[in-house]
Structure 1
Amino acid sequence: MNALETSELGKRYGRRWALREATIELPSGAKAALVGPNGAGKSTLLNLVTGLLAPTTGGVRVLGRPLEAAAVAFVAQDKPLYRRWSVADLLRFGAATNPRWDREPAESLLRAHDIGLRERVDRLSGGQRTLVALALAVGKRADLVVLDEPLADLDPLARVQVMSVLRALEATVLLSSHILADLAEACDHLILLGAGRVRLCGSFTDLLSTHPTADLEDLVLDFLRNSEAAR
């Protein structure tokens, strides 16, 4: 079964389409890299599949059902955690606001990275705050975990830690990032957006077999260059 399906999904602001005719299928358990140049529609797509925006056209289904908030966990780029709260406070908030909440896997992730429950959020490093946000997503037991630039402003060690957590997640993951080398290590599917439309969508294996290039980075760059030249 597909974990995520969109059909002719679009969002228009006045006369301008931020995203249009986006049809996507991600199988359960996929780790999908969402890439594209600035203004391609990535943030719009993420906000639509998490329910933060209402579509102008089309719809979103998760595990064959219409989109429900409980089915999706979203880690935003700025990771809007309550900075004066402790980690334990955030876990209690997660338990109070999520009907599927499971505290143990959330605490297990934090223990694995030596993040204490008494630590205050504003005293954590950027990498630690990202890991706390991921712990909240894990505790939610969501079917789909969506992440918007989770690696931004992280040092190399923190990026390695975050990507190791993402690889181990049992949920389907949709991850937006500009760091293609990290995506290639953690993901197995690709969604490439350009000018508000889906340009490529599929598994790395299938895409590389039909667009023979050395690796994911070459595939994305070659396709974007060719698309730009054709415009």
Structure 2
Amino acid sequence: MNALETRELGKRYRQRWALSEAGIVVPAGAKAALVGPNGSGKSTLLNLVSGLLTPTTGRVEIFGRPLEMAAVAFVAQDKPLYRRWSVADLLRFGAATNPGWDRAAAESLLSGHDIGPRERVDRLSGGQRTLVALALAVGKRADLVVLDEPLAELDPLARTEVMTVVRELEATVLLSSHILADLADVCDHLILLGAGRVRLCGSFADLLSGHPAADLEDLVLHYLRNPEAVR
């Protein structure tokens, strides 16, 4: 079964289409990398899939059902956590706002990375704040976890720590990042956007099969440098 499917999905702002006729499929259990240059429509797609934007055209389905925000856990790039709250405060907030809250799963993720419940958010490192945001997503027990540039501004050690957690998530994941090397180590599915349209969508293995590209980075650069190329 597909965890995520969009059909003719589009978003228009006045006369400009930020995303047009986007059809993507992400199988259940996949770790899908969403890549593309700035302005290609990545953030718009993530916000549509998360239910934060209403599409101009098309639809989003999660496991064959119309999109419900409860089915998606969204971690925004700026990780908008209440910075004067403690980690315990955030976990209590997660429990109060999510009927299916899994306290044990959220606390297990944090304890495994030495983040105590009394720590205040504004005293955590960027990597630790990202892990707290991931813990809230895990506690929600959503069918789909959407991550918008979770590696932005993180040092190499923190990136490795965060991506290890992402790799171990049991949920289907849609992950946007410019760091292709990190994506290649964790993800098994690729969605490539360009100029508001889907250029590629499929498993790494299928997309690389019969293609001269040696790896994910070569494949992405080939299609970005050759907009007329058709898979």
C-alpha distance in structure 2 between counterparts of 1:228 and 1:123, whole Å = 48
Query: Which consecutive unaligned segments of at least 5 residues does structure 2 have?
Result: none
Instruction: Give yes or no for contact 1:70–1:100 (8 Å, CA) kept in 2.
Output: no
Query: Which consecutive unaligned segments of at least 5 residues does structure 1 have?
Result: none
1:114 is matched with 114
State the 1:91 CA deviation. 0.3
Q: TM-score, normalised by structure 1?
A: 0.98
Indicate yes or no: 2:197 matched with 1:194. no
C-alpha distance in structure 1 between counterparts of 2:97 and 2:33, whole Å = 28
2:71 is matched with 71
C-alpha distance in structure 2 between counterparts of 1:182 and 1:123, whole Å = 26
Report the secondary structure of 1:8's partner residue: strand
C-alpha distance in structure 1 between counterparts of 2:99 and 2:185, whole Å = 33
Q: Give the total of aligned pairs.
A: 230
Question: Over aligned residues, Cα RMSD in angstroms?
Answer: 1.1
Q: TM-score, normalised by structure 2?
A: 0.98
Fraction of identical pairs, as percent: 84
Report the secondary structure of 1:159's partner residue: helix
Letter in 1 for 2:131: L
1:53 is matched with 53
Indicate yes or no: 2:100 matched with 1:100. yes
Instruction: Give yes or no for contact 2:223–2:229 (8 Å, CA) kept in 1.
Output: no
State the 1:210 CA deviation. 3.9
2:212 is matched with 212
Instruction: Give yes or no for contact 1:70–1:99 (8 Å, CA) kept in 2.
Output: no
Letter in 1 for 2:154: L
Q: What do the CA deviations read for 1:125-182 (whole angstroms, capped 9, x no partner)? A: 0000000000000000000000000000001110000000000001000000000000
| Runs of 4+ more than 6 Å apart | none
Report the secondary structure of 2:226's partner residue: helix
Letter in 2 for 1:149: E
1:162 is matched with 162
